[in-house]
Chains A and B, each alone.
Chain A
Amino acid sequence: MDENGHRGGVPITRRTVLESGTVTAAFLLGGFPQIALSAEAADTETAITPISVELQVNGALHRLTLDPRTTLLDALREHLALTGSKKGCDHGQCGACTVLLDGRRINSCLTLAAMHDGQSITTIEGLADGEALHPLQAAFIEHDGFQCGYCTSGQICSAMGMLSESRAGAPSYVTENLVEAQPALTDAEIRERMSGNICRCAAYPNIVAAIKQAAGAPT
């Protein structure tokens, strides 16, 4: 087996091995070339014990066997081929990886898939109803809420979470009256509440307009 996981002409990737659900010694050695085999290295490196994780993603149940280091983002993209959630910075700074965990927005790059066994995740792929776009998706198109589009799935998932926080009456740093039951969703409020999503094309004014429109629409 070479360093890319090819054996006898049959390409074996970490994904195919992991998803077969069977874990063998050959997989442990071949799938993780970074783990040295010498006894000396074994003293300092922790052996990888794959773990089994069940994720409910966009309504479908998936059973995965994963290296414990797998982030939720990598599980979605690399193991479930849901590549709508993007890897921007991989450090929780850009928001491109935003998904909804039990309805709440989080950075999927800064959490382990193993921590979410049995939980429900919604990604950008799960928002539309068949061919009918979610009102937020439609509003982003109508208002040109993007240029390159790389941050867009994160922006839209984040906006989903933000609107439900807002409906629940959660304040933000710019809310003047902390005890107000339902702070109005002004432009300043939308900007503050969406500050965890960076758009390097700077489509911000259009993103705010799209979210404002969707906030008034049934979701």
Chain B
Amino acid sequence: MKAFTYERANSLAQAATGSTKPGAKIIAGGTNLLDLMKLQVETPNHLVDINRLPLDKIEDTPEGGLRIGAMVRNSDLAADLRVRQRYGVLSRALLSGASAQLRNKATTGGNLLQRTRCYYFYDVTKPCNKRDPGSGCAALGGFNRIHAILGASDQCIAVNPSDMAVALRALDAQVETVNADNATRAIPIAEFHRLPGMTPQIETTLRQGEVITAVTLPPPPPGKHIYRKVRDRASYAFALVSVAAVVDAAGGRIRSARLAFGGLAPTPWRVAQAEERLIGASASERTFDSAASDVLNGARGFGGNDFKIPLTRRTLRAVLTEASLT
């Protein structure tokens, strides 16, 4: 690990100011950042610890949603009774991720900022445009079983590893931030993560010195909440394909559906056309297949990950079948 100076923030203003220094990073749970620092994938020269900031509350909003403090631990968010009752897809997504020990540490804000699990990103001896812009992408012609089939560029085909963010995408969450000048922003989750394009090193629309303070959820959409995660082990593994679904169906018809996908793209993936196609449609295999084709529009495999295309189709079919059972 490279040497760094350590600062404990006692206020949001101090955290924001501290994190504007060149080379500075905020540390919350630290489960991803320290892992990467040990490998010198991340080499901050200053750490601003925000663990003592009072951002650990989950509050009801006047609109009937929830406001989740950035420092709410993944385990506490998953176990919150309001989340279990009204946002089951979020609870399930969180519980499917990492291990209990990691969830006790990992935070809501930190989960949104976790880096890809691409092996070449982790291996500092290999080219990686995300870690070392301009060095190339070893995954393109390499072992790319876990990589993106949607939203990738010729610079980077890494996927976002978060389960939580996939559920938040289905729920239309917003990310609240504050900066050193005390200016606040509410960023829709759809605009929070960026596609790699020519700059895969820039993963979010967060600005230097901007601190995530909370994630807000609008009132829960009606319907059955499902998080289906397909992975190499039954537990404690990243998604090859995951589907966060909130589907309102009755009498063999779908009234509304929200579908977000993990493991497929550099960002949590959602396709409006697939959801529109399902509105009022009969809950049949033909409908589900058409929706899958909408989701997979433009999908491209790179050899090792070709299987994700049929796997996505089958996983979505299974989810929609389960959702339309009464």
Contact = CB atoms under 8 A, between A and B. Distances in A.
Interface residues of A, number: 47
Interface residues of B, number: 40
A47 B45 CA distance: 9
A17 interface: no
B311 to A, nearest CB: 20
A180 B29 CA distance: 28
Nearest to B105: A106
Given A46-B3, A110-B34, A193-B100, A170 B79 contact: yes
Interface in A101-140: 101, 104-107, 110-112, 114-115, 117
B6 A178 contact: no
Contacts of A158: 100-101
B30 A111 contact: yes
A54 interface: no
Contact of A171 (B8, B27, B84, B102): B84
A173 B1 contact: no
Contacts of B3: 35, 45-48, 67-69
B47 interface: yes
A98 B104 CA distance: 12
Given A169-B79, A195-B235, A68 B34 contact: no
Nearest to B96: A173
A208 interface: no
A114 B6 contact: yes
A92 B102 contact: yes
A114 B49 contact: yes
B102 A107 contact: yes
A65 interface: no
B235 A191 contact: yes
B325 to A, nearest CB: 14
B102 A196 contact: yes
Contacts of A98: 101
Interface in A168-202: 168-173, 175, 178-179, 191-197
Contact of A92 (B6, B31, B75, B81): B31
Contacts of B75: 104, 165, 170
A46 B30 contact: no
B167 to A, nearest CB: 13
Nearest to B28: A115
B85 interface: yes
B84 A179 contact: yes
B207 interface: no
A84 interface: no
Given A171-B78, A196-B100, A196-B102, A51 B6 contact: yes
B79 A196 contact: no
A90 B46 CA distance: 22
Interface stretch (B87-95, B172-180, B243-251, B268-276): B87-95
A90 B8 CA distance: 24
A95 B4 CA distance: 26
B5 interface: yes
Nearest to B80: A170
Interface centre among B1, B51, B236 (most CB of A within 10 A): B236
Contact of B236 (A90, A115, A196): A196
Given A92-B102, A105-B101, A195-B99, A110 B235 contact: no
27 contacts: A46-B5, A48-B3, A49-B6, A68-B4, A91-B35, A92-B99, A92-B101, A92-B102, A95-B101, A104-B104, A106-B101, A110-B35, A111-B29, A112-B6, A112-B47, A117-B8, A161-B100, A161-B104, A169-B79, A171-B91, A171-B95, A173-B235, A178-B84, A191-B235, A192-B235, A196-B99, A196-B101
Interface of B: 1-6, 8, 27, 29-31, 34-35, 38, 45-47, 49, 51, 75, 78-79, 81, 84-85, 88, 91-92, 95-96, 98-102, 104-105, 234-236
- Please provide the 9 A-B residue pairs with the shortest distance between their CB atoms, ordered closest to farther: A196-B99, A195-B235, A68-B6, A173-B95, A170-B79, A195-B236, A46-B3, A178-B84, A46-B45
Given A68-B4, A162-B100, A173-B235, 9 more contacts: A46-B4, A51-B6, A67-B3, A92-B35, A110-B34, A112-B6, A117-B8, A161-B100, A191-B235
